[in-house]
Structure 1
Amino acid sequence: MALLHGHVFETPVQAYAPVRVLSCAALSSRKVIETPIQCSTGSFYKFFKKQASMLPSVCGAVVQTIGLADGNRSWVNTVGSRKVIEILAADSCADTAEKFKYVVEAVDDRARKITYKLLEGSLLQSYDSFTVTLQVTSGSTAKWTVEYVKKDLSSGDPDFYLDLFRTINATVDIYLRSNDY
């Protein structure tokens, strides 16, 4: 690990930085998962921006349901749009699901980047905040960045969810290539 300025430490997959003064232990953490994709990067980004409603049919083993929330009428991810998603549960041995409500915080079409913030769900029992960003790079990779603030040091890292993103990336990539997107 290399010491940067302030109390910030960086590794290839995580960065730790003090956020606000709740206690000396309050830390913001960041984890990244990048996977190569073979389909068109534009198609991959478009799928998550405009066709997220297809996730249960494309990735049914991971995403059970997805729905519009709080009066939203469009599936297009725009700033402020809200959705509810049910995904494979982290603590499950069976086919149980966790339900989360999220809001789209930012959309950058030029950078092919969408940022989602968790509003409701079991993860907020362990984390004060939980934000996920998808960026589809021109280097044919899909990169998910998870930023979170642990409620206390005993809260684990959300590695299970990064593994789900890896599975989603591979499944969506195969679907888009198989269907000539």
Structure 2
Amino acid sequence: MGLKGKVVRQIEIKSDGDVFHEVFSARPHHIYNMSPDHVQSVELLEGQWGTPGCVIFWKYTHEGKPKTCKQIITELDVAKRSTTYKVIEGDLLQEYKTFTFILKVEPKGQNNLVTWTLEYEKLNEQIDAPNSMMDTVMTVCKDIETYHLK
């Protein structure tokens, strides 16, 4: 088993795919209102919301513990509803040398298919794949969908 890996998971949502992608790429500071049990705050540290190069600081809860994450948007394609976030500081880098979140939203009939890919390189073989982080991401997605369908 290698140090580099990838976890991919998909979820079908009924809410608007453009809005869903925009929440993560250009308005993540609204997520704490939609998923307060998992996201406590999101701040813009550099750049402009929803643009490549912007630096975002997250305070969130993972496995019942408060965590932080600083990430930079490295790629953003609004037309393809795709955004890539590279982690540059925070709790994830205590176990992973590199960590990247990739979001892709695609139409699927009347609904939308949200695909999250977590690409990572573990610091050592004893570190687990980030399946519990993916569980948290999926829960936040469901919270956002529920919020928008109200």
C-alpha separation between the residues in 2 aligned to 1:26 and 1:157?
Answer: 11
Indicate the structure with greater strand content: 2
Unpaired runs of at least 5, structure 1: 1-24
Higher RCO, 1 or 2 (CA under 8 Å, sep at least 6)? 2
Residue pairs, 1:127-138, within 5 angstroms: 127-138=96-107
Q: Which residue identity is paired with 1:138?
A: P
- The equivalent of 2:149 in structure 1 is 177
Matched, 1:68 2:40: no
Alignment match, 1:77: 50
1:150 matches 2:126: no
* Residue 165, structure 1, aligned to residue 147, structure 2: no
Task: Provide the C-alpha distance between the structure 2 equivalents of 1:121 and 1:84, rounded to a whole number of angstroms.
Answer: 9
The sequence identity of aligned pairs, in percent, is: 24
Q: Is the 8 A contact 1:43 1:176 kept in 2?
A: no
Q: Aligned runs of 1:46-57 on 2, under 5 Å?
A: 46-57=22-33
Query: Bigger radius of gyration, 1 or 2?
Result: 1
TM-score, length-normalised on structure 1?
A: 0.77
Q: How many residues align?
A: 147
**Within-5 A mapping of 1:9-88:** 27-69=3-45, 71-72=46-47, 74=48, 76-88=49-61
Q: CA RMSD in A?
A: 1.4
Give the letter aligned to residue 96 of structure 2.
Answer: Y
SS of 1:138's partner is strand
Q: Normalization by structure 2: what TM-score?
A: 0.91
Aligned to 1:108: 77
Q: Which runs of 5+ in 2 are unaligned?
A: none
Mapped contact 1:26–1:151 kept (Cα < 8 A): no
Pairing partner for 2:67 from 81, 86, 98: 98
Shift of 1:89: 2.9
Q: Which moved more, 1:147-156 or 1:40-49?
A: 40-49
CA distance, structure 2, for counterparts of residue 123 and residue 48 of structure 1: 19
